[in-house]
Amino acid sequence: MVTSIHEPQTAAGPRIDRLAVIVHPSRNIDGPLHDLFGWAERRGVAVIQVPIEGQERLVAKPGEPGDCDLIVSIGGDGTMLAAIRVAVAADRPVLGVACGSLGVLTTISADALPESLDRFRRGDWSVRRLPALDVACDGIVDLSAFNDLVIVRAGIGQVRVVSRVDGILFSRLAGDGCIVSTPIGSSAYTMAAGGPLMAPETEAYVLTPLATHGGSRQSLVIGARSTLSLDVSSGIGGVRLEIDGQIIAGEPHVIAVSLRSAVATLVAFPDQEHSFARLRRRGLIVDSPRIAADDAREEGTGR
C-alpha cells in the first residue's frame, strides 16, 4: 500500500473542454480568477462553479463536477479539502491554487495558474495520489478524512477514549480527546498538538492525544494494514467528532478507523516545492538556535 505517490504523465495531455472551480468563501481571489477566465476564454474552455454547502460566493454558473475535465481549487488547504471531496466523488483530478502562502495540499502559487493549466494540457504533470481515513462511527460507514478526524470535548468535563489496534488495547485516556491523521494531515492539528510529522509517502497513520489528565500521552504510528478502534465516553459537557474540520452531527461512541490508499488524484509538477520546504519557509520547521547562530556568524565573517 502506498499513501502518497507521483505518477508522471508521458502521453499527450488530456483534452480540456470544461473546468470546474471551487473558491475560498472570503479571501481576495480576483487575480487568479481573472487569469483563469482569461485562459479559458482564449482556449474556448467553459468554466463552471461547483456548489459547496454553506458557500454563498458565486463566481461562475453552477454546474456538475462530473461534466468537467479538471477541478481547480482557489484558496488554501481548507478550500482544497472541499475540492478533494468533490473530485473523489466525480473521479476527477484537482489542481490546488494557493492564495497566500503555499500549503501542504495546494500545488501552485496564484501567479503560476495560466502556465500550470498549459502544462496540464501538454501532459507535463504528475498524478499525486492521496490516501484517506475510512471512518465508521456508530454504524455509519460512509465517512472519510483526508486530513484528520478529531474527538474533542464539547464543553466542561473530560472525554474518555479507549484505543485498540487490531483488537489489542493500546491506551485509555481521560482529557480533551485525540486526533487521528493521515501522513499529509500530520502537519496540521497533529503537529500543533505535539504529535509527529510524517513524510507524505509514509505507509501509516497516527493517533495523537490532546491534553490529558495525567497518564501516558504518547502518539502512536499505526501501520497501513491495521485497524484502529476508539471507544468514546464523555462528561456532562459532551463530546463531538470533527472530520477535516467539519463537525459530524451526534455524539460519537464507537469509531473504527483504517487507511485506504490512492483515493484522491491531485495535479502535481516534477519541479514543485516539497512539503518540507514549505513548512520550513512558513516557520513551522525551525533549525536549532545553535545552527542559526553558526550561519549568522559565517555570513558575517565571510567564512
Q: Which amino acid is at 31?
A: G
Report the length, in residues, of the chain: 303
Put residue 302 in one of left, alpha, beta given phi > 0 → left and psi -120 to 50 → alpha: left
With 0-12 CB in 10 A as exposed, 13-18 as middle and 19+ as buried, what is 112? Answer: middle
Q: Tell me how far apart the alpha carbons of residues 72 and 47 are, in angstroms, rounded to a whole number.
A: 10
Count helices and strands in the chain by DSSP H and E runs: 6, 18
Q: Is 77 a catalytic residue?
A: yes
Instruction: Please state the separation of Cα 8 from the chain's center in Å.
Output: 21
What residues contact residue 278 under an 8 Å CB cut-off, 6+ apart?
Answer: 101, 102, 103, 104
List the end-to-end C-alpha distance of the chain, in Å, as a whole number. Answer: 47
Of 30, 67, 77, 111, which one is the catalytic site residue? 77
Q: Tell me how far apart the alpha carbons of residues 164 and 171 are, in angstroms, rounded to a whole number.
A: 7
In this structure, the dihedral spanned by the alpha carbons of residues 65, 71, 75 and 77, taken in order and rounded to 10 degrees, is 100
Active-site residues: which are they?
77
